[in-house]
């Protein structure tokens, strides 16, 4: 596994060194680490995950808690987690009232984590626990965000690798907020960046974009993405497509502008063509029956109008959801230290 970090995308040179030095002076000598693990129907993965992560953290003598967010699992995931929590009080469970989706579950975990540093992780161990120690090292150097960069994705399908590459290129070409290529949610985040993140109220959440939006000094650590240890991915191509669409619409208005400028271009072509037809009739007395070409133009214009309306609808639909201001998630209960807590507000930590 390569251990050379990627250069910081934020600032370079002596300015960066001064910033890092200032942050190093603020770092706790014995920080509390919170692992945030969203789960949905992952009963068979829980013991494997804990068997890999817990001994590693203990070996490095890190104070830690593991915050599992049960996102409306329909199998015995919650029951299994409760048994694990009874044996190890460092395991906390935030149980959502139904399935709200991974972005909402990740938000719930962030809201309820107590750590000085937070690390979101997938339970399938495709986010290698061995990277936690390099993450901590970079954090002690003064970086506020340390993200894992997938230098190799051998176990992903060709379609997934290609579509991921296209998404990062398209997103970064359209959005003022750039996200590093081949970077998922697996990263270390300092508490001060988390507090900024918690102030963002939007309901349609694209966490990769939000992590980038908060800024702060960030650095990447490359790793090879391993094979999933158990279970199967809950993301099919259709869900990935919708996820990518949410990301683009959440952070860019380029599709709206493209629709506007496309309409202007087509209008200009139409006016020029109309002048050409009128001029030919006036000069040469040649009319243009052109039924087939007329139908083609009508169908083309209709298709363009429908696409434009669809783009507007994507933005309008998200505005509709934001205006309703429904909570991002609803908590059934928080299970910790052998007890259950039912927050007075089911959507925010108490």
Domain identity same for 38 and 149: yes
Decide if pLDDT at 1 tops 60: no
Domain identity same for 82 and 231: yes
Least reliable range by pLDDT among 74-83, 235-244, 325-334: 235-244
Decide if pLDDT at 235 tops 60: no
Question: 75 in a domain, yes or no?
Answer: yes
Mean pLDDT throughout 279-290?
Answer: 67
Backbone angles phi, psi at 66, to 5 degrees: -115, 115
Decide if pLDDT at 67 tops 90: yes
Query: Among all chains, which residue has been given the structure tokens 């400028």?
Result: 261
Closest CA to 340 of 65, 92, 84, 39: 92
Question: What token pair was written down for 151?
Answer: 């230098």
Mean pLDDT throughout 219-228?
Answer: 78
Domain identity same for 150 and 259: no
| pLDDT tens for each residue of 123-142 | 888 888 888 888 988 888 88
- Cβ–Cβ < 8 Å for 153, 126: no
Question: What pLDDT score was predicted for residue 4?
Answer: 44
Question: 349 in a domain, yes or no?
Answer: no
Question: What pLDDT score was predicted for residue 2?
Answer: 44
Distance separating alpha carbons of residues 271 and 294, to the nearest angstrom: 15
Strand 339-341 with 117-120, pairing: unpaired
Where does the pLDDT of residue 188 fall: very low under 50, low under 70, confident under 90, or very high at 90 and above? very high
Distance separating alpha carbons of residues 169 and 163, to the nearest angstrom: 10
Domain identity same for 219 and 303: no
- Cβ–Cβ < 8 Å for 142, 21: yes
Decide if pLDDT at 189 tops 70: yes
Residue 296: enclosing H or E segment and its boundaries? helix 291-324
Domain identity same for 151 and 298: no
Question: What token pair was written down for 314?
Answer: 């994507």
Domain identity same for 22 and 106: yes
Question: 1 in a domain, yes or no?
Answer: no
Strand 32-39 with 117-120, pairing: parallel
Question: What pLDDT score was predicted for residue 346?
Answer: 60
> End-to-end distance of the chain based on CA atoms, in angstroms?
41
Residue 188: enclosing H or E segment and its boundaries? strand 183-190
Structural domain containing residue 308: 254-324
Those residues with Cβ within 8 angstroms of residue 167's Cβ, 6 or more apart along the chain or in another chain? 244, 247
Those residues with Cβ within 8 angstroms of residue 171's Cβ, 6 or more apart along the chain or in another chain? 179, 209, 244, 247, 248, 251, 252
Domain identity same for 24 and 67: yes
Domain identity same for 108 and 187: yes
| pLDDT tens for each residue of 84-110 | 888 888 999 999 988 888 888 998 999
Where does the pLDDT of residue 6 fall: very low under 50, low under 70, confident under 90, or very high at 90 and above? very low
Question: What pLDDT score was predicted for residue 5?
Answer: 46
Residue 338's SS3 state is: coil
Domain identity same for 85 and 140: yes
Least reliable range by pLDDT among 4-18, 47-61, 244-258, 331-345: 4-18
Question: What pLDDT score was predicted for residue 250?
Answer: 67
Question: What pLDDT score was predicted for residue 3?
Answer: 47
Q: Which of 272-276, 335-339, 343-347 shows the highest mean pLDDT?
A: 335-339
- Cβ–Cβ < 8 Å for 249, 29: no
Number of folded domains that form the chain: 2
Residue 101 sits in a domain whose CATH number is 3.90.550.10
Domain identity same for 212 and 335: yes
Question: 67 in a domain, yes or no?
Answer: yes
Where does the pLDDT of residue 287 fall: very low under 50, low under 70, confident under 90, or very high at 90 and above? low
Where does the pLDDT of residue 232 fall: very low under 50, low under 70, confident under 90, or very high at 90 and above? low
Question: 347 in a domain, yes or no?
Answer: no
Mean pLDDT throughout 200-224?
Answer: 83
Question: 2 in a domain, yes or no?
Answer: no
Radius of gyration of the chain (CA): 25
Mean pLDDT throughout 161-189?
Answer: 76
Distance separating alpha carbons of residues 63 and 260, to the nearest angstrom: 54
Closest CA to 73 of 294, 300, 234, 188: 234
- Cβ–Cβ < 8 Å for 188, 138: yes
Those residues with Cβ within 8 angstroms of residue 101's Cβ, 6 or more apart along the chain or in another chain? 71
Domain identity same for 287 and 213: no
Domain identity same for 311 and 241: no
Decide if pLDDT at 11 tops 50: no
Question: 8 in a domain, yes or no?
Answer: no
Question: 189 in a domain, yes or no?
Answer: yes
Q: How many CB atoms lie within 10 A of CB 227?
A: 10
Where does the pLDDT of residue 35 fall: very low under 50, low under 70, confident under 90, or very high at 90 and above? very high
């Amino acid at each position: 596994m390569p251990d050379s970090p990627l250069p910081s995308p934020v600032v370079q040179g002596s300015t960066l060194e001064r910033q890092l030095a200032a942050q190093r002076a603020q770092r706790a000598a014995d920080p509390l680490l919170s692992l945030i693990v969203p789960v949905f129907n992952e009963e068979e993965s829980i013991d494997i995950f804990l068997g890999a992560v817990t001994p590693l953290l203990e070996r490095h003598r890190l104070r830690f808690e593991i915050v599992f967010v049960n996102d409306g699992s329909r199998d015995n995931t919650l029951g299994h987690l409760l048994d694990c929590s009874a044996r190890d009080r460092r395991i906390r469970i935030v149980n959502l009232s139904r399935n709200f989706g991974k972005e909402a579950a990740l938000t719930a975990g962030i809201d309820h984590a107590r750590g000085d540093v937070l690390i979101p992780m997938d339970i399938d161990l495709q986010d290698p626990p061995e990277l936690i120690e390099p993450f901590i090292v970079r954090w002690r150097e003064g970086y506020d965000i340390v993200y894992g960069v997938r230098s190799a994705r051998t176990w992903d399908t060709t379609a997934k690798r290609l579509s991921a590459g296209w998404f990062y290129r398209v997103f970064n070409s359209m959005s003022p907020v750039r996200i590093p290529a081949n970077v998922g949610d697996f990263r270390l985040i300092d508490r001060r960046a988390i507090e900024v993140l918690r102030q963002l109220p939007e309901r349609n959440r694209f966490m990769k974009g939000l992590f980038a939006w908060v800024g702060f000094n960030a650095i990447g650590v490359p790793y090879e993405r391993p094979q999933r240890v158990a279970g199967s991915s809950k993301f099919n191509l259709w869900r990935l497509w919708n996820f990518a669409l949410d990301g683009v619409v959440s952070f860019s208005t380029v599709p709206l502008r493209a629709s506007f400028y496309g309409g202007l271009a087509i209008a200009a072509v139409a006016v020029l063509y109309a002048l050409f037809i009128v001029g030919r009739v006036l000069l040469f007395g040649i009319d243009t029956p052109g039924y087939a070409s007329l139908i083609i133009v009508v169908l083309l214009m209709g298709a363009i109008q429908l696409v434009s309306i669809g783009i507007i609808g994507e933005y309008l639909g998200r505005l509709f959801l934001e205006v309703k201001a429904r909570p991002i998630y609803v908590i059934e209960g928080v299970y910790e230290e052998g007890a259950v807590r039912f927050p007075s507000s089911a959507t925010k930590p108490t």
